[in-house]
Homo-oligomer: A and B are copies of this chain.
Amino acid sequence: MLGRSYESQNCSAARALEIVGERWSLMIIRHALFRGITRFGDFQRSLGVARNVLAARLDLFVEQGLMERQPSSENSAYHDYVLTDMGRELQPVIMALTHWGDRWAAPGDPPVVFRHEHCDGEVRQQTICGDCGQHLAIDEVKAHPTASSMSLA
């Protein structure tokens, strides 16, 4: 049976988007991931986001499990907001969004390039088959519903 409403569309991508789809949320996590920012004041300064917006987002991230609030080692009056594994694993999502945006939605050269820390090579994301190891083109990937699915893709 096909889902008949948004609620019944059992879609992990949509669930993911509900958590990180808000634009400030994405920017905050991006700065935590790639700039290593952990302090409220550092997020605020580098993003120029309103303090109330930032506070609400960080509280939500802690509640959702994307970040942990830790006492700062340097000064106990401050907290660090540290990405959990759940938060860190958004990295491929943000890279994929960035690559697509660079190609299709951003004028001019890419503002940011992702590089391998050790050899400085440019980072790529590839879709491969876990069985035969082949690199897959877009048309070669099909979505299959599982037993727990209520929708077909």
Contact = CB atoms under 8 A, between A and B. Distances in A.
Interface of A: 2-6, 8-19, 21-24, 26-27, 30-31, 33-35, 45-49, 65, 86, 88-106, 108-132, 134, 136, 138-153
Given A89-B138, A112-B144, A113-B144, 18 more contacts: A3-B46, A9-B47, A16-B98, A35-B143, A46-B152, A89-B100, A91-B127, A91-B138, A93-B100, A96-B125, A110-B146, A111-B146, A112-B149, A116-B134, A116-B142, A123-B127, A123-B136, A124-B129
A45 B2 contact: yes
Contact of A109 (B11, B14, B147, B151): B147
Give the copy number. Answer: 2
By secondary structure, the A interface counts as mixed
B117 A142 contact: yes
A126 B153 CA distance: 22
A14 B26 contact: yes
A111 B149 contact: yes
